[in-house]
Amino acid sequence: MFDYLQFVLAPQMVIGLSLGIAVVLVALGLTIIFGLLDVINMSHGEFYAVGAYLALSLGALGLNFWLLLVLVPALMIPIGFAVERGLIQRVFNSPDRHVSTLLLTFGLGIVLEDLLSLIYGPNTQRPPTPISGAVEIFGILLPTYRLFLIVIGLLIVVAVSLVVYRTRLGAMVRAAAYDRNMAASLGVPVKTVFAGAFAFGIALAGLAGVLLAPVYSVFPTMGRDFILLAFTVVIVGGMGSIIGAVVAGLGLTQIQAISSLYISPVWSDPIVFGILVVVLMLRPQGLFGKLGRA
């Protein structure tokens, strides 16, 4: 019994945890953008890919991985700002904001993905793993980089929620999400806050790209594989909820990891999407509340 736990269940759960953290990182930006702007960013997966490719190019120039962790998100911020101001604001006040922003970002995603394969070619590339070696936890050998990923992922989640819930900036963001007109009349620069939050979400996607590139490889359609799971996480957790993204992200990947012990892993995708449909049917707002409401 104990052997089963140690040698079968635990490794599966730890691997599931590192995938879960990766998904949470991608979902975090998605949920912030939805919570604040009510925009479903269909191009989020492509921004994740852009982050990974930026890391690849800059890494090839000889820049250190630790520098990239700061530099790539910093480069993504002006991109996100420009996209929000130049594209999303153009249809933001149309009567059907959800649909038109979804369509616009969907188009943007198509363009970005094809642009990446135009520049870098369709082949898979793999940047070197910045931390080599493996560590032993509870008798399981885990690559050190995966452990680093789990730790830094948790740190990022904590940092983001501290910024959103414990700082003046975060209060402004939550106020704008709750009631933009009231926030504007109290002197919150709502337009800048919106563009800034979008840019922040994009920067998080880019950061996830840098962190995950050594594990999951880099290819133009890399965003697609991840974004489906990330969307599911955001919906199940409650669109716009940070804690929801974390709980759903870790929970769903654990379900995937554990279920693959008993049934063929090819069924893990239908299970996850099945959960998505059931949650949407029974509790469309997700398990947790929206940003600014709680």
Partner 1 sequence: MHETLPLVAASSPPNRFDRLGLAMRASHVLAAIFVACCLLFAFLAWRADDVFYLRLATEALIFAGLALSVDILLGYTGLLSLGQALYFGLGAYTSAVVLRAGFSFAGTLMIVFVFSIIVSLVGGVIVNRVRGVYFALITFGMAQVVAKIVYNTRELGASDGLIGVPIVSIGFGFMTTSSASPVGFFLFTLVFIMLIYLVLAYLLNTPFGRVLIALKANERRVPFLGYRPFSARLAAYVVAGVTAALAGALYPMLRGFVSPELLSFTTSGNAVITVVTGGAGTVIGALYGSLLLTALRSFVGSWTAHHLIVIGLMFMAVVVLFPKGLVGFVRMRLQRFLERGQ
Residues of this chain that bind partner 1 (CB under 8 A):
40, 87, 90-91, 94-96, 98-100, 102-104, 106-111, 113-115, 117-118, 228, 231-232, 235, 264, 266-267, 269-270, 273-274, 276-277, 280-281, 284
* Residue among 65 and 231 whose Cβ is closer to partner 1: 231
CB of 250 to partner 1, least distance (A): 20
Q: CA–CA separation, 233 vs 254, rounded Å?
A: 12
CB of 235 to partner 1, least distance (A): 6
- Minimum CB separation of residue 143 from partner 1 in Å reads 29
**Which class for 166: exposed (0-12), middle (13-18), buried (19 or more C-beta within 10 A)?**
exposed
Query: Residue 277 CB, nearest distance to partner 1 (Å)?
Result: 5
What distance in Å separates the CA atoms of residue 22 and residue 27, rounded to the nearest whole number?
9
C-alpha to C-alpha distance for 190 and 172, rounded to whole angstroms:
9
Q: Which helix H or strand E contains 136, and what residues bound it?
A: strand 134-137
| Closest to partner 1 by CB, 133 or 270 | 270
CB of 255 to partner 1, least distance (A): 15
State which residue, 96 or 179, has the beta carbon closest to partner 1: 96
* Distance, CA of 273 to CA of 142 (rounded, Å): 29
Residue closer to partner 1, measured from CB, 94 or 167 = 94
Q: How far is the CB of 95 from partner 1 (least distance, A)?
A: 4
In the complex with partner 1, the residue whose CB is nearer, 6 or 94, is: 94
Residue placing its CB nearer to partner 1 in the complex, 34 or 200: 34
Pairs from 255-260 (Cβ < 8 Å, separation ≥ 24): 256/16, 256/19, 257/12, 257/13, 257/15, 257/16, 257/19, 258/9, 258/12, 258/13, 258/16, 260/12
Residues sharing a CB contact under 8 Å with residue 274, sequence separation 6 or more, in sequence order: none
Residue 176 Cβ, how far from partner 1 at the closest point, in Å? 19
Up-side HSE of residue 100: CA atoms within 13 Å toward CB?
Answer: 11
Residues 28/243, Cβ–Cβ less than 8 Å: no
- Residue number, 78 or 284, with CB nearest to partner 1: 284
DSSP classification of residue 143: E
